[in-house]
Amino acid sequence: MEKEKLLKLLERIESGAATTEEIAQYNQFYMDFQKSDGWNTIEMGERQEIEEKMYMNISKAIESPSKKRQSYSIFRYAAAAVLFIAVSAGFYFYKFNSSVSLKESSLKTVSKNDRAPGGNKATLTLADGSKISLTDAANGDLAKQSGISITKTANGQLVYKVSAVQNSQKAVEFNTITTPNGGQYQIVLPDGSKVWLNAASSLKFPTVFAGVERKVELKGEAYFEVTKNKNMPFTVDANGTKVLVLGTHFNVMAYEDEKDVKTTLLEGSVKLTHSNAVAFLKPGQQGSINKNEGEYKVIEADMASVMAWKNGYFLFDNASLPQLMRQISRWYDVDVIYTSKIKEHEFVGEVSRNYSLMKILRILELSEFTFKLEGRTLIVK
């Protein structure tokens, strides 16, 4: 994009005259701008000058009380540029009832410590009840049971391999992999299917898939890439919801502290059942059911938001503060306490899950909330 074209685009965004296509065009420029290592000085002029103009333009939109609704659109598509320049965080917010201060010196977070981000942490419970800490175990072979070898790889995978002919008369044995708050892990199941477990989650599975189906039980959240086998469907039992597939890619979110169980399909097809409710998903769709109600709601999914955790990000699209805090609590292993009733707010933004908790909180304080971290307790004011 040429400099003059960009400046005209910025003027149209500031005045509220920009079309959806123009805002999307600006957003694409920002994403390219953020990723680019090179800079065409001849075409665009000095990079610092462009940064300042981008910052000033969006700042005016934020601070102007008469443009609150328009500033929402700007934040949805372009305001990441503001905070990227201001605090180098790539996270952006919009609140309907007040403007946002971008001055880092005004932040009020109080802390006696910090919390590191989560990582590859999990515990494997074998069929005999013995436990193996995958966090501490050395890479290589961990155990052998009933003709199955279990290996931990250098990149944080747990791999199951069938190493001997199985006795079909032998009772099926189950293992369980559990991630704590602040943990995640990837496992390759005996049939070659891959599963990524999010924090505070567990997956119970047989050491060998036999019979008419491949069945696993999930608590929490996981992303599945299932090996195709038309003769043996793959089923996931997740908090009352049953996901039935032959071979496909999908995400299931079924935390106890979330009111809905959500299944999102990336490719293939799935059948969902919950009590008497049934739904079929096509790629790009999400099936959501309230655990206290009996009907599925099928919508077009925001794939970026659904897959953000697996790709190393928090991504919020009109999320409430409690929704946001539940993710923070799981990933940083903290207990969240609210000192007063929380008003209606909506947050939009993206930030790396590799940041420390204090860095996340400093960004969140660009809204009207303040935080106090005492040990593992996070107090929200």
Q: Is residue 65 part of a domain?
A: yes
* Alpha carbons 11 and 13: distance in angstroms, whole number: 5
Question: The CATH number of the domain where 333 resides is what?
Answer: 3.55.50.30
In a domain, 17, yes or no: yes
pLDDT of residue 91: 39
pLDDT band at 281 (very low <50, low <70, confident <90, very high): very high
Q: Is residue 38 part of a domain?
A: yes
Q: For residue 362, what pLDDT is reported?
A: 82
Residue 166 banded pLDDT, cuts 50, 70, 90: low
What is the total count of domains within the chain? Answer: 2
pLDDT at 27 over 80: no
Q: Report the DSSP pairing between strands 347-352 and 148-152.
A: unpaired
Determine the pLDDT at residue 326: 95
State which residues form the domain around 358.
110-115+312-380
Average pLDDT over residues 216-223: 98
Q: Tell me, yes or no, whether 12 lies in a domain.
A: yes
Single residue among 95, 128, 148 that ends a domain in this structure: 95
Query: Regarding predicted confidence, which is higher, 323 or 61?
Result: 323
Q: Are 146 and 207 within 8 A, CB to CB?
A: yes
51-75: average pLDDT: 42
Examine the fold and report which residue of 95, 125, 154 is the final residue of a domain before the chain moves on: 95
Q: pLDDT tens-digit profile of 310-348?
A: 999 888 877 888 999 999 999 999 999 998 887 777 777
- Over 90: is that where the pLDDT of 64 sits? no
Task: Kindly state whether residue 137 falls inside one of the protein's structural domains.
Answer: no
Out of 42, 62, 95, pick the residue that ends a domain.
Answer: 95
Q: Give the mean model confidence (pLDDT) for residues 295-304.
A: 93
Segment 244-262, tens digit of pLDDT: 998 899 999 999 999 999 9
Please indicate, yes or no, if residue 194 is contained in any of the structural domains: no
Exposure of 150 in the CB half-sphere (CA atoms within 13 A): 21
**The pLDDT value given to residue 30:** 59
Does residue 293 form part of some domain? no
Asked if residue 329 is part of any domain, the answer here is yes
Report the range of poorest mean pLDDT among 191-200, 221-230, 313-322, 344-353: 344-353
